[in-house]
Chain A
Amino acid sequence: MRNWLYLHWRAFLHASTRLARQPLGTLLSALVMGIALALPAGAYILLDNIASLARGLSGTPEISLFLDAATQSGGDGSTSANANGDASESKNGDDDKLASAIEQRLQAETELASFRFVPRDEALRQLERSGLGDVLGGLAANPLPDAFIITLRSEDPAVYEKLAERMQAWPGVIHVQLDSAWVKRLHALLGLGRMAVLVLATLLGLALVIVTFNTIRLQILTQKMEIEVSRLLGATDPFIRRPFYWFGVLQGILGGLVALGVVWAGVAALVDPVTALAETYGAVFTLSGPDDASALGVVAFAAFLGWLGTEISVQRHLTEPF
């Protein structure tokens, strides 16, 4: 085991020496790999930022539940779930009963994160403050219904729709408004974006495997003599192959580091303009680069591609029996 570790250490040194002895070739390969990897990595970071931006802008998507104004204003009672036929009952009392009945139903729902009752008077005041008061001023009575504003635990549009459908059937509910249309659209767009990143990463990953394959093939050719002599002196296949694996993996790691550098540079260049742009929309937003886990992921992915290219090359070019 110690001997095995020592042999790996020797192979690692051997490979590093080879990389260091041809700095230009090493640099060019690292740049090719790095720039190619920076594309999907950068796109991924961008998507991540858009997703968090979207969450920041909308807060949490809401459901608005409007109560039946007819039940509230008319003394009719026939449409009211809680009609008790007492004509002398005040209008407010009627409202309160309907509101508290809905409230009870809402409390029984497990999917809700929060809900808030907005009485029709408050809704009118909000509308007046927003500058639409003049339009409403002409009306004799307040046309707005009482409402509940509901937020859910889940961000899944499907959950929203199912709940909204159920609420629509509740007595006294005249309309359920769902602002999930754009949530749905965003979800779909992000999904599409992630798929595009995946396809891009796969294609460019394949290209990098091919690049490594060829680099290792050339390395094997230039070291043909050394390989032959080593075999004659009793080198096993793993001994012959080890330095090439290290070479491929080290080159992959260098490529991954270059990719991270490119992404970081891109983020650094864009952070101020993006913040300024967000401010014009009244939003506070800072573009963020990859976190430690993603950074490590990029380097590990690059190292894996290097290993894979080497593996194929070694299987292809280093298996002929001597």
Chain B
Amino acid sequence: MIVFDAVSKRYAGGYTALDGVTLRIADGELAILSGHSGAGKSTLLKLLPAIERPTAGTVRINDQDVSALPRRAIPYLRRNLGLVLQESRLLFDRTVFDNVLLPLAITGHPPGDAAIRVAAALDKVGLTGREKEFPAGLSGGEQQRVAIARAIVNRPSILIADEPTAHLDRAYAAEIAALFRSFNNAGVTVLISTHDASLFAEWSPRRITLARGRLLEA
């Protein structure tokens, strides 16, 4: 369960990106976040892994107040979330395998078991056999898949993706959307921001719409 309670975020420059947002997302839900550019979608998503902190209100994940988490505890929060950020943020000097391995390397996962998990994650995103390649040699859609494999390799119960289909042509975007749907089918709570909610329309997901930092629809 994710709970936003009267959350406001005012950036250092004085711009109010979120203004009194109250919102609940149940376990296992597929939620699509939309809104115009600058509406506050990324800001909302960044509050969950405590990349940003709210200036007012509280954000809770499974009854843990992540908006008041001490700095030392933040890494452990992030390990339980699957994150796909707006730019894919792959490491271009590492192979596909090593990119996906990173979350497991961070926790000191035993190498044998880690290799099995990486293979399973790559299988789920359809990149089996591409382990030894470098991200620069992959298409944009494939890079996005690597980023998704990296997000799910820790088997998180919540998956957060910020515009995972941006910069992709429609066919690729639909494939990525279907991928998230499949994780959601497996019981994972999925929260995705997008400019194109129609990609997910066939699964009639929960619609959340922001405009100028305020909730229009939830």
Contact = CB atoms under 8 A, between A and B. Distances in A.
Interface of A: 3-4, 6-7, 10, 225-226, 228-236, 239, 321-322
B20 to A, nearest CB: 26
B110 to A, nearest CB: 8
B79 interface: yes
A3 B89 contact: no
Chain B CB within 10 A, most for which of A4, A229, A233, A235: A233
B167 to A, nearest CB: 19
Nearest to B107: A234
Interface string B51-79: 10000000000000000000110011111
B91 interface: yes
B91 A233 contact: no
Contacts of A234: 75-79, 103, 106-107
A38 B51 CA distance: 48
Contacts of B72: 236
Nearest to B79: A234
Contact of B78 (A6, A10, A228, A232): A232
3 closest Cβ contacts across the A-B interface? A234-B79, A234-B78, A3-B108
Nearest to B104: A233
A144 to B, nearest CB: 84
A225 B106 contact: no
B106 to A, nearest CB: 5
A233 to B, nearest CB: 5
Given A226-B91, A231-B75, A239-B106, 14 more contacts: A3-B108, A6-B110, A10-B105, A230-B102, A230-B106, A232-B49, A232-B89, A233-B83, A233-B150, A234-B76, A235-B75, A236-B75, A239-B75, A322-B51
Contact of A233 (B71, B78, B110): B78
Nearest to A14: B105
- B interface, size bucket: 20 to 34
7 contacts: A4-B108, A6-B110, A7-B108, A231-B75, A232-B83, A234-B77, A236-B75
Interface of B: 49, 51, 71-72, 75-79, 83, 85, 89, 91, 102-103, 105-108, 110, 150
B108 A6 contact: yes
A6 B109 CA distance: 9
Contacts of B71: 321
Contacts of B110: 6
Contacts of A230: 102, 106
B52 to A, nearest CB: 10
A321 B52 CA distance: 11
A148 to B, nearest CB: 75
A225 B85 CA distance: 14
Given A234-B78, A322-B51, A229 B89 contact: yes
Contacts of B89: 225, 228-229, 232
Contacts of A235: 75, 106
A10 B78 CA distance: 21
B108 A10 contact: yes
